[in-house]
Amino acid sequence: MLEEMKPLFCELYGNPSSMHTFGGQIGRKIRKARQQVAELLGCDPSEIIFTSCGTESDNAAIRGTLAAQPDRRKIITTRVEHPAVLAVCRELENHGYSVVEMAVDKQGRLDLAELEEQIDDETALVTIMYANNETGVVFPIEKIARMVAEKGALFHTDAVQTVGKIALDLSKSRIDLLSLSGHKLHAPKGVGVLYVRKGTRLSPFMLGGHQEAGRRAGTENVPGIVALGKACELAAKNLEEENNKVRYLRDKLENAILESCPGAMLNGDKENRLPNTTNISFEYIEGEAILLMLDKFGVCASSGSACTSGSLEPSHVLRAMGIPFTAAHGSIRFSLSRYNTEEEVDYTIEKMPQIVNKLRELSPFITK
């Protein structure tokens, strides 16, 4: 991937919007990347809009579809969305939109009958994530997309955690808009995609030049786009491996921790989950303290999402699932990839009981 990016920093520094030869060379690189992304998603290259990140794609999808349907004022989403969706919906609520945040059950699952009841003639957009970034729980998105289409509303899915981990074929899907983020599939940070199904009405979010066929103004992050194209090509090749090797490593890690660490419990639906994510609570100890000790041993994990780590609020996702405060506070998430090794997993398995036992000794909530 780096090899593909290097010339764009050194020799090929033209602006793709320029008429000269340098510009043309870059334009071809972007076209190739668009094709590579489209192949992974199973869509037409013209349906791909490059953005700066997943957050921008989510914002553009929500604001753009609402602006294009001024007579519909209702949005349906879930309580467990990433802040890139939730914060936008809540802000729109302050501007007179009616926003329904669907609840989830203890395993993080949605009630589809309840969702169906909520979709009415006022509904402009239903936006529901494909897979949750904290628990890895996967929603039945194709089923939801069909339900929303039958009811005549638009459907957006935040697939930032999904692309490259679950095979998608948008040509056969009823999804209208889909967001992805480069760094979740090993491309660099600072590039994302919004897929917009042909014929979907969307007002541009960024105004200015004619880039991205007038749908997203602003000079392109060419090295990021080229790397994302390559990342999509590699993801398509490695999907099977991601599903098998990574799932094996995740399960080995998860089972060992659940067996060896007192007070450990798994969060989220065990069946319908991404292959790479596990979210475990350790009652009466602090997730942050576990992370710091893991970090000392050279193991990087997170509590909540990377974006909310550092805040003392327990995860809104786990709270929505009804996980008790004491357990939500002590939750950590491991996310693995095809670049992790079995040695790394074994090392973490060895360290985790030591860490948990030490913190439990210090916990004021556990009486000896």
Bridge partners of 249, per DSSP, are none
Among 14, 154, 157, 158, binds ligand PLP (CB under 6 A): 158
Cβ-contact 137, 268 below 8 angstroms: yes
Closer CB to ligand PLP, 165 or 215, in the complex: 165
What distance in Å separates the CA atoms of residue 136 and residue 109, rounded to the nearest whole number? Answer: 11
Q: How far is the CB of 264 from ligand PLP (least distance, A)?
A: 24
Among 29, 82, 215, 230, binds ligand PLP (CB under 6 A): 82
Indicate which single residue of 14, 136, 164, 192 sits in contact with ligand PLP (rule: CB under 6 A). Answer: 192
Dist CA 70 CA 77 (whole Å): 19
Note if 43 is an active site residue: no
Q: By CB under 6 A, is residue 53 in contact with ligand PLP?
A: yes
By C-beta, is 109 or 351 nearer to ligand PLP? 109
Q: Residues 181, 276, 278, 308: which binds ligand PLP (CB under 6 A)? A: 181
* Cβ neighbourhood burial of 12 (10 Å; 0-12, 13-18, 19+): middle
160 binds ligand PLP, rule: CB under 6 A: yes
In the complex with ligand PLP, the residue whose CB is nearer, 128 or 153, is: 128
Edge-to-edge strand ranges of the sheet holding 154-158: 48-51, 192-196, 177-181, 154-158, 123-127, 74-78, 98-102
54 binds ligand PLP (CB under 6 A): yes
H or E, element range at 91: helix 83-93
- Least distance to ligand PLP, CB of residue 86, Å: 10
Look at residue 34 and give its three-state secondary structure.
Answer: helix
Q: Which stretch binds ligand PLP (CB under 6 A): 48-56, 170-178, 266-274, 292-300?
A: 48-56
Distance between CA atoms of residues 232 and 39, nearest Å: 8
Catalytic site residue from 43, 261, 300, 307 = 307
What is the nearest approach in angstroms of ligand PLP to the Cβ of residue 28? 26
Q: Give the Cα separation of 263 and 287 in Å (integer).
A: 13
Q: Which amino acid is at 20?
A: H
Q: Does residue number 84 form part of the binding site for ligand PLP (CB under 6 A)?
A: yes
The site for ligand PLP (CB under 6 A) is made up of 53-55, 58, 82, 84, 129, 133, 158, 160-161, 181, 192, 305-306
- Give me the active site residues, please: 307
